[in-house]
Amino acid sequence: MPHFDLKEIIVAVGLIGLFAIVFAESGLFFGFFLPGDSLLFTAGFLASQGYFDVVLLMVLLSIAAIAGDSVGYWTGEKFGRRLFTRNDSFWFNKRHLDTAHVFYEKHGGKAIVLARFLPAVRTFVPIVAGMARMSYRKFLSFNVFGGLFWVVSLLTGGYVFGSVIPDVDRYLIPVILLIIIASAMPTAIHLYRENRSTIHTWVRDRRARTAS
């Protein structure tokens, strides 16, 4: 997507739209595909250009991130194992929930903070925390820290980027692409490690079919 389109979309949806997107991606299972990292960075960049007040963005979007995770926790606590038996659909892919579950089991409470920087995983980790009946007080402390750190760091990065680099528009697309790649890589590596044997078998089968 050209960066002018992304800028126009963010400006068009305004604060309410940004709040809704961050809220949905943080804890509603159908929000896993939303572009949280690049959206926050671009919003910070737009704040540096006078479109938004960066402090107001930090406050509102931190609230959205924290509230979204809390709703995700409630969803997991309320519906629990039923989500694991739910059929895949356009809005729901059980694989993401399985990945988040493994990630949570491996990293425990700190997964709530780490997952903020992992697309898809960040949507499902609070759901898994609720399913695991993690103490809400403990969950909330990780949630608040992770939400604030995620929102403030990316908004600040975009704001500084837009403030200090001359002719910044020409560099925005490459930087956003780097952010998307960098944020997706840990999840991709994790999925590869978890499914290594299946992937290798598939590759061997493909090679065998090609050679025959």
Tens of pLDDT, residues 31-49: 666 777 888 998 998 898 8
Parent domain of 157: 3-211
- Number of structural domains in the chain: 1
pLDDT band at residue 211 under the 50/70/90 scheme? low
Q: What is the reported pLDDT for 53?
A: 94
Arithmetic mean of pLDDT over the chain? 78
- How far is Cα 137 from Cα 152, in angstroms, rounded to an integer? 22
pTM for the model: 0.73
